[in-house]
Amino acid sequence: MKLSELIPKVEGIELAVVLENDTPEYAVYLHNAKEDIIEGIIITSVGYGENPTTGEKIKTATLRHSLEVMLPNEVAKIELIVPEVFGLYNEYWVSFWINEELFDKKFLFLPDAIHADKLRMLDSFGKLGVLLS
């Protein structure tokens, strides 16, 4: 049996960077689009890449967030994100439990994937943003 067969596939979980209403601020949101309650949610975020001028490696601090429970179709604000890191890889690991089964998924915003001309209305969030699912 392959290892990939042992790890449950994560579907119905979305992550988005959205433009906050009438402000120049952006925030990261998690959406439980599943019909299940998810619990014990842990999210880690880190940005990394290179300075395009000097080639120097850049890495942001790793942030950790937790949520106890998300109901079906619930949206939760995870963190604010500053435009200065949009040129980096912005990686989010989301781990959670459904009943007694652990799920884990990596979301990766590529450099410059978050840009004003790429924002779309995201119905699940009711805001303009960039969505990963």
Q: What is the CATH number of the domain that holds 65?
A: 2.60.40.10
Q: Is residue 128 part of a domain?
A: no
Q: Is residue 131 part of a domain?
A: no
Interacting residues of 68 by C-beta distance below 8 A, sequence separation 6+:
39, 40, 41
Both structure tokens of 67 = 């949520």
State pLDDT tens for residues 29-66: 999 999 999 999 999 999 999 988 898 999 999 999 99
Both structure tokens of 94 = 């989301």
Q: Is residue 50 part of a domain?
A: yes
DSSP string, 61-78: PPEEEEEEEE-TT-EEEE
Q: Quick one: pLDDT band at residue 125, thresholds 50, 70, 90?
A: confident
Say which residue, 3 or 52, is predicted with more confidence: 52
Q: Is residue 121 part of a domain?
A: no
Domain span at 55: 3-113
- The total domain count for the chain is 1
